Structure 1
Amino acid sequence: MRDGGAEDDDPRVAALLAHLAVREAPFAISGRDDLAGLDLGHAALTARLDPQAPPRWWARDPGGLDLAQADLADARLEETDLSGANLRRASLAGALARSAGFAGACLEEADFAGADLSGARFIGIAGGQASFREAMIEDADFSGATMRFARLDKALLDGARFEGADLWGTDFSGADADDSVFRKARLDEANLSDCNLTGADFSGASLKKARLVGSRLRGANFSDARLDGADLSGADFSRTSLVRLDLTGCRLRHARFAGAWLEGVRLTVDQLGGAVGEEIAGEYEAAQASYLALERNLQSIGSPEGASWAYKRGRRMGRRHAGLRAREALSTRDFRGTVSYGYRWIADRFVEWLCDYGESLSRIARAFLVGILLFAAAYGATGGLFHEGANTPTYNPLDLVSYSALNMMTANPPEIGVKPLGRVTNLLVGLQGAAGIVLMGLFGFVLGNRLRR
């Protein structure tokens, strides 16, 4: 074996190895602005070794070039192969290392902050506590990497692959990671808050006690993922398919579900903090869609009370949206729109007061009571109720309320010794009878729904 380069070797490799043979850590690499394209990987350097006396530039563990504590800040390393290298505590901050190879390297506590690592290969690295803060890592491959407590906060990770990686406690906060792949990765206690994870693949991943607060998870894949104890507060699941997941141990306060497909997802109303994120943001139309998705899901898991809550909240969002559009139409002098949306708001508000959108028996009973008292007052105001044989109307509150109550709950005018006289009074009697029939029918409908549940 040989420990020097042959004549056809890149002279830059020979110069670098000679420099490393006499260096003392920590040290700066000379000529680091001219290292692009060098083959410094495990396979190439193994051919230079003397097995009896390995040179100082060789690291037995992990088996490659020894660059521990080296200063490679701002180095040019495009397409450079450093597979198997020992870069423990090395500084590569700001390095230009597009499509570089680091497979199998030791990067523990190494600093890649602000580096351009687009398309780089980090397969199987040991990168515990390494820093990739604000680095550009699009389409990089970290498959099988071990990166516990590494920092990738505010990094650009679009299309990066972390399949099967151990990312326990890793900080991804604020990262942009569209279409990134975390399939079967271990992300327990990782921080993915405020991340853009649109289209990310978490299938089969473990996210126990992970933080995804405020993250954008639109279209993400969570099939077979484990989310026990994860904090999903304010997360955006728009257009995301969530099927047969157990989220009962997660925090879902003000999460967003507009356009999401939820089926068989175990969760409770209490986890939502009283409202979905769209409602908190005043996006009432989207909030209505979010509550619709929740309603269907809660029905699918056998939670009728939860489904009823989601249905009512969704109807209220429709009313608020109509009110908002009515005000907008009024401000632009769109009177047709004002009338149209205004009518919808008034109609929905009345239905809410009357029966809470068909979900409340107590509100219907209240409407009965209010109707009885209002019509009793109307009979007294018109002076149209007379005792049989009397020439003067009765204003006795007991007579008025009794007649009003019985007329409200029977199909025919009551026979209690009090008769209506006059066109106005008879018209009131007919109107009250019709109102009573409607309310009785509505009461039966809501009661039937409740009994079926």
Structure 2
Amino acid sequence: MNVTGLLAETRDIEGLDLSKMALTDVLAAEPYRFRNCDLTRADLSEADLVGHVFEKCVLDGTDFRGADLEGARFDGGGGAGTRFVGAELTDAVFTGVDLSGAQFGNALLTDVSFTGCRMIGAGLTGSRGTSFFLSRSNLTLADLSGCSFRKQEFEGVRFDEANLSDCDFTGAVFTDCRLIRARLIGTKFTKADLRGADIGGPDDGQLRALTGAIISSAQAAAILAIRGLTVL
């Protein structure tokens, strides 16, 4: 049976090589469960993928642009440069997925969760929705400029060298997080609790961005020590 016939026959797909295939028009309406499939550079743009499940799939360069992924679930797997530009991702769940270099510009990210994900260099600037959640994920060098995280709780998230310009962290709480050398132009930290974050040695510009944040006495002492002052 060819690939098109198999996709018409069953909704449980395992171990299939779908790389570089145009799949938008060959998928049936009911949700699929893809396990251990190779979707490298597959074209799923504008596809109806509501409720679909992707388990340990290879997603290098997979094209989900404009797709409807409401309630979709991604468990493990992933790859570099996956494209979610303009996609509908409301209630989608990403767990343990490699999303390095993934692009989410203009995607709707309402109530989306990213847990245990590798998101180095990912681009989330320009995404829509004000409530996507990050936990135990690595966003080193990611671009989150302009995103709102008001009153959110972050645990185990790395924002090292990430672009957090114009982000709103008002009232957010950071636990076991890192913000070393993050870009903080216009970033709001009013009443944000940074006592559980490694903020490194902020320069004067970064320090101005932290105005209104809550930090520990140890963090304050470290900041002053960098400036040649000793706290007794």
Q: TM-score range by the shorter chain?
A: 0.7 to 0.9
Corresponding residue of 2:25: 31
Indicate whether 1:138 and 2:132 are aligned: no
Give how far 1:212 is off: 1.7
Indicate whether 1:14 and 2:6 are aligned: no
Corresponding residue of 1:162: 134
Match of 1:109 among 81, 85, 99: 81
Indicate whether 1:246 and 2:207 are aligned: no
What amino acid maps onto 1:241 in structure 2?
I
Q: Distance in 2 between matches of 1:94 and 1:32?
A: 17
CA, structure 1 residues 199+148, in 2 after alignment: closer, same or farther (shift >3 Å)? Answer: same
CA, structure 1 residues 15+162, in 2 after alignment: closer, same or farther (shift >3 Å)? Answer: closer
5+ long unaligned stretches in structure 2: none
1:320-331 equivalences under 5 Å are none
CA, structure 1 residues 160+15, in 2 after alignment: closer, same or farther (shift >3 Å)? Answer: closer
Q: Distance in 2 between matches of 1:197 and 1:138?
A: 17
CA, structure 1 residues 107+176, in 2 after alignment: closer, same or farther (shift >3 Å)? Answer: farther
Match of 1:118 among 90, 97, 102: 90
1:392-411 equivalences under 5 Å are none
What amino acid maps onto 1:122 in structure 2?
F
Indicate whether 1:188 and 2:151 are aligned: no
Instruction: Tell whether the 8 Å contact from 2:90 to 2:109 is kept in structure 1 after alignment.
Output: yes
Corresponding residue of 1:85: 57
CA, structure 1 residues 243+107, in 2 after alignment: closer, same or farther (shift >3 Å)? Answer: same
Q: Distance in 1 between matches of 2:210 and 2:159?
A: 19
Instruction: Tell whether the 8 Å contact from 1:206 to 1:227 is kept in structure 2 after alignment.
Output: yes
Q: Distance in 1 between matches of 2:185 and 2:210?
A: 9
Instruction: Tell whether the 8 Å contact from 1:172 to 1:192 is kept in structure 2 after alignment.
Output: yes
Corresponding residue of 2:186: 214
CA, structure 1 residues 34+236, in 2 after alignment: closer, same or farther (shift >3 Å)? Answer: farther
Give how far 1:220 is off: 2.3
Instruction: Tell whether the 8 Å contact from 1:213 to 1:234 is kept in structure 2 after alignment.
Output: no
- The SS at the match of 1:173 is coil
Corresponding residue of 1:97: 69
- Higher relative contact order by CA 8 Å / sep ≥ 6: 1 or 2? 2
Give how far 1:13 is off: 5.9
What amino acid maps onto 1:31 in structure 2?
D
Q: Distance in 1 between matches of 2:21 and 2:189?
A: 43
Give how far 1:84 is off: 1.5
- The SS at the match of 1:225 is strand
CA, structure 1 residues 167+85, in 2 after alignment: closer, same or farther (shift >3 Å)? Answer: same
Identity of aligned residues (%): 27
Give how far 1:29 is off: 0.8
| Aligned residues: CA RMSD | 3.2
Higher-Rg member (1/2): 1
- The SS at the match of 2:10 is helix
Instruction: Tell whether the 8 Å contact from 2:140 to 2:158 is kept in structure 1 after alignment.
Output: yes
Corresponding residue of 1:69: 41
- The SS at the match of 1:246 is helix
Q: Distance in 2 between matches of 1:202 and 1:233?
A: 17
Give how far 1:267 is off: 4.4
Indicate whether 1:199 and 2:171 are aligned: yes
CA, structure 1 residues 104+218, in 2 after alignment: closer, same or farther (shift >3 Å)? Answer: same
Q: Distance in 1 between matches of 2:155 and 2:134?
A: 7
Give how far 1:102 is off: 0.7
CA, structure 1 residues 110+131, in 2 after alignment: closer, same or farther (shift >3 Å)? Answer: same
CA, structure 1 residues 193+179, in 2 after alignment: closer, same or farther (shift >3 Å)? Answer: same
Give how far 1:219 is off: 3.3
Indicate whether 1:225 and 2:219 are aligned: no
Q: Distance in 1 between matches of 2:218 and 2:69?
A: 40
CA, structure 1 residues 138+39, in 2 after alignment: closer, same or farther (shift >3 Å)? Answer: same
Give how far 1:199 is off: 3.2
Whose helix fraction is larger, Structure 1's or Structure 2's? 1
- The SS at the match of 2:155 is coil
Q: Distance in 2 between matches of 1:130 and 1:149?
A: 8
1:223-302 equivalences under 5 Å are 223-230=195-202, 232=206, 235=209, 237-238=211-212, 240-244=213-217, 246=219, 266-267=223-224
Structure-2-length-normalised TM-score? 0.80
Give how far 1:36 is off: 5.3
- The SS at the match of 1:71 is coil
Give how far 1:155 is off: 2.1
Q: Distance in 2 between matches of 1:212 and 1:34?
A: 45
Aligned residues: 222
Give how far 1:93 is off: 1.2
Q: Distance in 1 between matches of 2:220 and 2:88?
A: 37
Q: Distance in 1 between matches of 2:189 and 2:140?
A: 20
